[in-house]
Amino acid sequence: MASKGQGPEGSNPMWGGRFSQQPEEIMEAFNASISFDQRLAPQDIRGSIAHARMLGAVGILSKADAGALVQGLEQIRSEIEAGTFEYKTALEDIHLNIEARLIELVGDAGARLHTARSRNDQVATDIRLWTRDKIAALVGTIRTLQSALLTTAQTHQSAVMPGFTHMQTAQPILYAHYCLAYVEMLDRDAGRLNDASARLNECPLGAAALAGTPYAIDREMTSAALGFAKPMNNSLDAVSARDFVQEVLAAAAICATHLSRLAEELVVFSSAPFGFFALSDGFSTGSSIMPQKRNPDAAELVRGKSGRIIAAFTAVSVMLKGLPLAYSKDMQEDKEQTFDALDQLEACLRVLAPAIESMTVNEVAMGKAASARFITATDLADWLVRALDVPFRQAHHITGALVAKAEAQDKDLSELSLAEMQHIDPRITGAVFEVLSVEASVAARRSFGGTAGPRVAEQIAHWRALNARPAR
């Protein structure tokens, strides 16, 4: 159970001056965020060091006090890294835990750190720094997953699989083309995260509680020291804004949606009736009752975790939507959602890359499924348009009649005789048979963005070159 605060007359040492009683234990535990916001310790220390240096530089604090603060904060950083720092629930959150320890270490100088600052601008700064770092890590894992998709695409560059619409066999495509579709989605995901990072990169520090501060602080200096593009213009906005949290969670939700669709296909395509993929032993699990089973748990968990990632955006948005400016304690609820959603997204990205790189791709099974009956029906209609100048809508109708005729005889289109075809439309010639093979169908789709081999090879080369470049 939480230890109670011990300030003067037993009240909280950090803010208890006007209180004569300690918080109830149940309230102390309810109010505290230290169990989860201790994660912000590195960012909190970075922010405090920048603030202390600025206070010293502009003469609000003596050089000696500023130096003592920086030293004390660095010692706390070592204690935290060594695991010897003692987090106290009575001290509520990471900000007060660090400040209280600083006062223990450097006395009055420590008690001067909070000059011209508030926990409101402090926490806003900390989460911006944390989110910026996390986005960089996420984008790195996205690049790794893209690279895994490119590798399997290249390994099976000429393999053909059925493409689906409505989950009905539609047209044959290259497996590499399929992989590249996810490479594209992931690139937009990285773009959205990078956009969010660029937009959040303004510094709230120095906004103080909500209205700014009477001290002659240098906000440009702290902003630059923390790697922000500029100090935020409006102090009220600086402490109230969490749209950057919504934005990164929205980007995460969209990325999770993509991963979930990919995961769904890994599950379906690795099932026995398809047999296109087999996840490696390392990324599958067995059944405790059915010895023959090989379950795609990695993919199922990626699909399942998308739920909580998408939910985090909703949770934070609903938490924020009724809040008056500026800070309200409700906002403390942003952290667990953000930490969990972005951790889970990172875990999904990290597991998918090696799962895909190590999975077996069954080219024969895919090829067989790609030769399913009538899969080249569109090619027949297109041939009628190109060779006989039949308007497409009529060509579609004629092809439909040919499909019905073949189906009635339990044959594929290419198994109809020319005479049988001419019975439906006398203009048809023997040349039609050239477009009815799966290979011809794929090769014909040479339009930009299409599945033909040369188009796909160009795209692989394009992405390989981009992926080889340093972080973007």
Answer yes or no: 287 catalytic.
yes
C-beta of residue 346 within 8 angstroms of C-beta of residue 255: no
Q: Which listed range, 256-264, 279-287, 329-337, 424-432, lies at the site for ligand ARG (CB under 6 A)?
A: 329-337
Smallest distance, Å, CB 329 to ligand ARG?
6
Smallest distance, Å, CB 34 to ligand ARG?
8
Is residue 93 a contact point for ligand ARG (CB under 6 A)? Answer: yes
Q: Tell me if the bond preceding 452 is cis, omega within 30° of 0.
A: no
C-beta of residue 376 within 8 angstroms of C-beta of residue 436: yes
Residue 283 or 327: which CB sits closer to ligand ARG? 327
For ligand ARG, the binding residue among 171, 222, 246, 332 (CB under 6 A) is: 332
Which H or E run contains 259? Answer: helix 243-269
Residue 117 or 156: which CB sits closer to ligand ARG? 117
For ligand ARG, the binding residue among 53, 77, 114, 119 (CB under 6 A) is: 119
C-beta of residue 24 within 8 angstroms of C-beta of residue 187: no
DSSP 8-state symbol, 10: G
As beta bridge partners, residue 172 has: 162
Residue keyed to tokens 């005789």: 417
C-beta of residue 172 within 8 angstroms of C-beta of residue 162: yes
For ligand ARG, the binding residue among 45, 50, 123, 310 (CB under 6 A) is: 123
Q: Tell me if the bond preceding 326 is cis, omega within 30° of 0.
A: yes
Question: In b/e form, how buried is each residue of 415-444, taking b as 16+ CB within 10 angstroms?
Answer: ebeeeebeeebeebeeebbebbebeebbeb
Options 166, 288, 417, 447, the catalytic residue: 166
C-beta of residue 36 within 8 angstroms of C-beta of residue 26: no
Distance CA 379, CA 441 (A): 6
Smallest distance, Å, CB 30 to ligand ARG?
12
Give Cα separations from 195 to 139, 187, 235, 247 (angstroms): 11, 12, 23, 9
Options 78, 271, 287, 328, the catalytic residue: 287
Residues 407-426 that bind ligand ARG (CB under 6 A): none
In this structure, what is the dihedral angle of CA atoms 446, 449, 450, 454, given to the nearest 10 degrees? Answer: 50
Sketch the per residue contact string, 217 through 246, with ligand ARG: x for CB under 6 A, - otherwise: ------------------------------
Total number of residues binding ligand ARG (CB under 6 A)?
10
Residue 129 or 438: which CB sits closer to ligand ARG? 129
Is residue 120 a contact point for ligand ARG (CB under 6 A)? Answer: yes
Give Cα separations from 175 to 344, 356, 438 (angstroms): 28, 13, 13
Nearest 5°: phi and psi at 361? -110, 120
Residue 32 or 253: which CB sits closer to ligand ARG? 32
Distance CA 375, CA 377 (A): 6
Residue 143 or 242: which CB sits closer to ligand ARG? 242
Smallest distance, Å, CB 117 to ligand ARG?
11
Answer yes or no: 462 catalytic.
no
Number of residues in the chain: 472
For ligand ARG, the binding residue among 70, 145, 331, 460 (CB under 6 A) is: 331
Tokens of 443: 């090769």
Packed helices 334-357 and 243-269: angle between N→C axes, nearest 10 degrees: 30
Sketch the per residue contact string, 278 through 317, with ligand ARG: x for CB under 6 A, - otherwise: ----------------------------------------
Residue 123 or 255: which CB sits closer to ligand ARG? 123
Is residue 121 a contact point for ligand ARG (CB under 6 A)? Answer: no
Is residue 48 a contact point for ligand ARG (CB under 6 A)? Answer: no
HSE of 441 in the Cβ direction (CA atoms, 13 Å)?
A: 25
Residue 33 or 376: which CB sits closer to ligand ARG? 33
Q: Which listed range, 57-65, 115-123, 374-382, 463-471, lies at the site for ligand ARG (CB under 6 A)?
A: 115-123
Smallest distance, Å, CB 243 to ligand ARG?
16
Distance CA 387, CA 403 (A): 19
Is residue 326 a contact point for ligand ARG (CB under 6 A)? Answer: no
Residue 120 or 260: which CB sits closer to ligand ARG? 120
Sketch the per residue contact string, 22 through 41, with ligand ARG: x for CB under 6 A, - otherwise: -----------x---x----
Give the catalytic positions in this structure: 166, 287
The residues that touch ligand ARG, with contacts defined as CB under 6 A, are: 33, 37, 93, 119-120, 123, 327, 329, 331-332
